[in-house]
Each structure stands twice: as C-alpha cells, then as structure tokens.
Structure 1
Amino acid sequence: MEWARRLGGRGVADAVVAVIVALFVVYAFVDPPGPSSSWPAWSAWPVAAVVSFPIALRRRRPWAMLGLACAAGVLATVFGAVVVSTISVTFLPTVLVLYMVAATASIAWSLAGLAGCLFAAVTAVLIFYGQVLPGLAPAANPTEMPPHWPVEIGVIGVLLTAAWAIGTVVRWKRDTTARLVRHLAEAAVADERRRIARELHDVIGHSMSLIAVKATVANHVADARPQEVRAALAVIEQTSRSTLTEIHRVLDLLRSDGEPQQPHVPAPGMADLPELAAHARSAGVEVDLTVREEAALPPAVAVSVYRIVQQALTNVVTHAAPTRCSVNVDVDGREAVIEVVDDGGRHGRPPRAGRSGHGLIGMRERTKMYGGTFSAGHRPEGGFRVSARLPYDLNGTEA
C-alpha cells in the first residue's frame, strides 16, 4: 500500500508497536488491579491513542515525540485518567521513544532527556497520589496491587533508565562500527596508493634507466657512428611510447567514474618477459632468459612476476651494464620461483653497495604479499643475485 511504502519497513513496525501498546494501555485501564478511574470506561480508548501515538513517529521526530509522549503521560496521570498501580503503563510509550532518542542523540542531550522525563514522571505520580487518589471511589474487590507510590516511581525510573542505557550502547556500537568502516576504507585507499606508487616506480625506473643508457651511447658515438645513434633513438622512442601507455594504464586507476578513461591496456604478464629481456640487451646487458611454465599463472601473480623481473633487470642496467645476466622463471602450478643473477660490472666498474632503494623494497613487498620469500645480495664470485618465491593457489591469492 502507498502509506506503507512512504513510511518504510521500520515506520510500519513502529505503527504496529504503537497499536499494541495502545491496546495494552486500554486493557490496564479497563481491568485495573486497584481502584478504577473516575473517567468513563470509553475514555480509555482516546487516552490510550494519544499516549501511544508518539511511538509511530519516533524515528522521524524523536525529540518532539519524546516531549509529546512524556506530556501525554503526565497529563493523563495528573487529571486522573490512569488507574492506581498501573501508572507506569502510561509512561511505556515514553520509554520506547527515549530509547530512540538515546540511540540517535549525543550522550549529553539524551541524558538531559532522561532527567527531564524522570522529573516529570515523579512529579506526576506524587500529584496523583497526593490529590487524585483520595477522591477516587474505593475498589469493589480487594486490590491485587495496593497503592504504593514508591513502587510506581521505582518502576518508571528503572524502565526509563534501562531504555536510555540500551539506546546509548546501541549508538556507541553503531558509531564504533562506522569508525571501523571508515578506518578500513582509508587503509584500503592507502594500500591502493602504495600499490600504484610501486607500479609507477617499476615502470618509470625501468624505462628511464634504459633511455638514459641509450642516450649516453648516442651522445658518445654521435659523430663516429651515426647508424648506432639512429638505432639508439629508435629504442628510446619505442621505450618512451610503451612507458607512456603503461603510465596511462596505472593513472587510470586514480580517475573517478565520471572522468574519461584511456583505452584499456592489458596488464603485463609472462608473455611480456621476452620484451623486457630485449630492452635490457639493447642497453648492453647480455640477458639469458629461461621461462618454464607448467601451469598458467593467475593474472595478479603474473603481474608480480613481471614487475620483479623488470625491477631486477633495471638494477642490472643501472648498476652493472654492460654485463651478462641470467633470468630464470620457474612456474610449477604451486609457486613461481624467480632468479636474476648478473656477473657484475665490467671494466673494473665498482658495484653499488647493497643496491638499496625502493626497487628492492618493492620486490620484497610483492613477494611478502603472497607469503613468499625474497633475498638479494652480492655473490662471493662477483655480481648480484635476486631470488623470489611466490606461492599461490589457483585464485592468485596466498597459498
């Protein structure tokens, strides 16, 4: 129905609860355990409707409905519409609305609401027992619950306090969950930024190292061997184009949904390793590439393997070229093992101590992501060795 759709599921539930509470209030007024009210029996229906009405709208206007519920309970008590020993029933709607206030407002404001309701209820009960009750006709039958105002005040106080405490706990848990969700979202964004930074480092570091080497060669042989200059410029052009394509692919991850996207470029993988080796050869590194792939790698693992080999070759080009290097990639269906070994710089070129930097850190982090092992260091016989083992399952996650 249209009215149900407008109210929503929770609004309909509140309306049903309001009707149930109104019926309960009517029953308490019609069949009281103590002296009856001086009001006619039919008046129980409109009084119950007015007292219970705030429950139906407590989600939309919690503070207004709290004031209305409390005022209705106080007026019904002060003017004698209630019966002895069931005054707490009249304040039951106030209890339910106070829970909603405590679940949505700050502790200070909801505590003020609790204090106001308690003061109003206690005042109304004392007025009822001091001025209204003496004028009521005695009960025809022995009372099931004798008049006792401390009990009435105690029951109302316990109900209101319990509702406030439960609502406060609910609000605290809701806020804690929201903060946790925000924290997880911020952590996910930070992780994604670090991943993109590693991608850019690998792409730009590899390409710029190759371009720098070829530009140096071209500069030294520009006059003596123009053909070699032309070949170096061709390598620089090809490397620049492929690097720009990869940079566009990585930066597309930072675009919002409404911004135009570059044409989709597939992520690099095992099939692109020969091209990496060719780039390193053009920079003066004799690369011996061996790839043994018994099973197809999941895309995420293939990208990590490619990036590790790319960074290792970048380090060789930057710190040891011209030299000889062997690259071995072994995939057996359970793990991917990568080993990159170079012979060190020729012509007495001293190695860079430890070759520390973001490159080794990035390779180590990629390996750690799959729960694998990574090692890098100088060899006793000369040169440098990088080794990584990436265990995985068929879904590309940590094995």
Structure 2
Amino acid sequence: MAMIERFRGWLRVRPAANDVIATLICLAIGVPIALTSAYQQHKSVSVTMLLLAVSCVPLLVRSRWPIPVAAATVLICELGFALSSAVATAPVSVIFALYWVAVTTDRVTAWRTGGGAATILLVSGLAFRPGVDRLAENLGVLGWTGAAVALGDALRSRRELLASYRERAERAERTKEAEAQRRVTEERIRIARELHDVVAHHITLVNAQAGVAHHLMRRDPEHAYQALERIRDTSRAALDELRATVGLLRGRDDGEEPREPTPGLADLPVLLDSFRHAGLTVGLERTGPESELPQLTELTAYRIIQEALTNTHKHAEAGAAVVRLETGASVLSVTVTDDGNGSGGGPGTGHGMIGMHERARSAGGTLHAGPRPGGGFRVHAELPLRPKG
C-alpha cells in the first residue's frame, strides 16, 4: 500500500510520465477490442490497428491540453466512421480523453464537452453507418461517452471531498495548537503577575522595616528588635507565597496541596497591618453584606489592594491611604485612595499598574487609576460577583 502511494505521488509530480502510462494503458485495452471487432466485422486488421494507434497519440499531451485532446480523439473517431468499410472503430481513446476532461475541469465544462462529443459522434455515426441494424451501435455512443464523463466527475468530486476533509483536519490541528499556545501564554502571564505582586509587596515592606530598624537601632533597641521580627515574619510569608506560586509551575502528581490558601478579603487585616507597621496609615471601610464571594473575585480584589498600597508606599510619598469595599447585588467595588503626590503608578517599570488592569479584565471586571483632582492617587475596580456568560 505504501509503495502504491509513493508511485501515485511520483506520477503527480511527473505529468508527462503519467500521460505516457495512460497512453500505453489505452493501447493495451484498445488492441484486443479492435482486433475482436475487426475479425467479427471482417475489416482490415492493419488499418484498424493503425487508426487505434493514431487515436491514442493525442493522449501524450492530455495533461497540458485536456479539451483539445478530447476534440482530436473525436475527430479521429469520426475518421473511423468515414472509413467504416475498411475499419472496425474502437473509440477507447475518446473514453480516456473525456474521462480526463471530467477529472481535471469543473462539472459544467466536463458535461458540456461530453455532450458535444456525444452529439458529434452520434450524428456522424448515423450519417456514415445508416440502417436499423447499426442503430443500437450508433446509440451506444451516448452510453459510453456519458459513462466516461460520469466516472471522471465522480473521481474529481471524491478528490475534492477528501481535500476538504484534509484541510479541515489541518485547520483544526492548527487551531488546537494555537489554543494550547494561547493558554500556555496566559498561564505564564498569570504566574508572572502573581510573582510580581508577591515580590514587590514583600520586598517593599522589608525595605521599609529595615529602614525603621536601622533608624532605631541605637536609641531604641527594643523597637528596632520588633522591626527585625517583622522583617523575619514578612520574609517568611514571602517565601511561603513564592513557594506556593512557583509550585504552580510543577504538576502536583503526588496530590500535594499548597501550603498557603489562596489569599482573599478575609486576609485584608493582616495585609493592612503589614503596611501600618511599615509606616503607612491605612484605613478600611466596608459597606454591603459580608457574604462569601467567588474565589477569583476575592483573589483579584486582594491583589489589586496589595499592589495599589505597595505603589502608594513605594512611590507616592503618602502618609495615609483608605481602602473602600462596597458589595452590591452583582458587583464588588474596590477603591484605594491616598494623600500622596499623585504618582500612584510610580516611576518604575509600570508592570504593577499593567498587572492590576490585567487582573481586573481576567475576572471580567474593569479598573481605572489616576491622580485625584484634590491631590493623591485613586485606584477603582469593579469586579463581577458572578462569572459572565
């Protein structure tokens, strides 16, 4: 089977060889038919064989000019009708030519060519071979020309159908690969966003607490020691969150669960205390029912608050900030404002601000951030309480 497929592929890239093989097959089929007809009708064998050979010659260029080749074979067949007193006509070449026209052209062209050939051959047959005893033979032209076109048209339709199936399969495979690549990219962005939020938040706090400890080390060792304890606790929390986040990069085939649960709004007091210990006064205002919210919404709100306060403490030179949470019927509103210099985005890379926008979009919500008219900076996000769709 593999050898046959290789041979077909070889023929497809070598149309001239394909034409030579088709011509030889036509001769191989036509010779016994012509000999039998010549003996039965008591016609000249040599003239019949010569006419058969001549009629097959145009098939050598059928791939280049299929319709002219069909016309040439029809004319040679008419010559056989005209010489019917000496020749037993064997129209095998016409069948091959019409079949190839149907294979290589469209359906309308194939049937028009076949119909024209049948009409010409029928009229010529009736003119050169009159009589009731030759009527069946003359009408047979309609049968074998129609069969040749129908067979070629069926093969062409099958090839087109297989080609369409192959194209659909290839397109589905490309779509599948593109979808897999898109999901991989989204997952990488999500993990990078988590790492950025965790590292930026905890390193900012460690830096602030280290400054406090350095400032108090000589004149107030007790408070300096407390600041060092907070650095230790903050570093441990950062390591735990990093371990849980990096663990997402590895499959947990052993069923191991993350050490830390996904942070949510219940963890806000601890988060705000960490900023207060770092020297930022943070207030929390919450309105609406404190019911259980979707995990994605809680995580998104937590990370947005964390990043907004980190930017406030790191870039805005603010002394105080306020976090407002408003739980509505279908939306959780998160607002973080500060009294700083209005550069809550900071002079950094901007990844934190981009990350907040991406988080809000991934949860199906929106986020707006910018300086406040009266001074300071404001981050406002609206997150749906139910998945859209």
In 2, the alpha carbon distance for the partners of 1:109 and 1:371 equals: 55
Are 2:264 and 1:363 equivalent residues in the alignment? no
2:373 alignment partner in structure 1: 380
The Cα offsets for residues 84-125 of structure 1, whole Å up to 9 and x where unpaired, read as xxxxxxxxxxxxxx8xxxxxxxxx768449997776556434
In 2, the alpha carbon distance for the partners of 1:112 and 1:172 equals: 20
Are 2:28 and 1:127 equivalent residues in the alignment? yes
1:273 alignment partner in structure 2: 268
In 2, the alpha carbon distance for the partners of 1:390 and 1:112 equals: 60
Residues 1-399 of structure 1 mapped to structure 2, 5 A cutoff: 61=1, 64=4, 111-112=12-13, 120=21, 123-132=24-33, 134-135=35-36, 145=140, 153-256=148-251, 263-292=258-287, 294=289, 295-320=291-316, 323-344=319-340, 352=343, 355=346, 357-393=350-386, 397-398=387-388
Structure of larger gyration radius: 2
User: What TM-score does the superposition give when structure 1 sets the normalisation length?
Assistant: 0.63
User: What TM-score does the superposition give when structure 2 sets the normalisation length?
Assistant: 0.65
Pairwise CA RMSD: 3.4
1:91 alignment partner in structure 2: none
* Change in 2 beyond 3 A, CA 1:343/1:290: same
Where do 5+ consecutive residues of structure 2 fail to align? 42-135
Describe the SS at the equivalent of 2:183.
Answer: helix
**Structure 2: which amino acid aligns with 1:355?**
G
The Cα offsets for residues 314-368 of structure 1, whole Å up to 9 and x where unpaired, read as 1122124561211111122401100111122xxxxx5648536111211112222
Describe the SS at the equivalent of 1:337.
Answer: strand
Describe the SS at the equivalent of 1:297.
Answer: coil
8 Å CA contact retained: 1:200, 1:247: yes
Report the alpha carbon displacement of residue 222 of structure 1 after superposing the two structures with TM.
1.1
8 Å CA contact retained: 1:129, 1:149: no
**Structure 1: which amino acid aligns with 2:346?**
R
In 2, the alpha carbon distance for the partners of 1:109 and 1:218 equals: 81
Report the alpha carbon displacement of residue 196 of structure 1 after superposing the two structures with TM.
0.9
The Cα offsets for residues 196-229 of structure 1, whole Å up to 9 and x where unpaired, read as 1111111111111000000111112211111111
Describe the SS at the equivalent of 2:219.
Answer: coil
**Structure 2: which amino acid aligns with 1:212?**
N
8 Å CA contact retained: 1:285, 1:321: no
1:40 alignment partner in structure 2: none
In 2, the alpha carbon distance for the partners of 1:208 and 1:242 equals: 11
In 2, the alpha carbon distance for the partners of 1:270 and 1:286 equals: 19
Describe the SS at the equivalent of 2:383.
Answer: strand
Where do 5+ consecutive residues of structure 1 fail to align? 1-60, 68-97, 99-107, 345-349
In 2, the alpha carbon distance for the partners of 1:117 and 1:267 equals: 68
In 2, the alpha carbon distance for the partners of 1:353 and 1:302 equals: 22
The Cα offsets for residues 259-300 of structure 1, whole Å up to 9 and x where unpaired, read as 895644321111111111111111111111123352321111
Higher RCO, 1 vs 2 (CA within 8 Å, ≥6 residues apart): 1
8 Å CA contact retained: 1:125, 1:153: no
* Change in 2 beyond 3 A, CA 1:353/1:286: closer
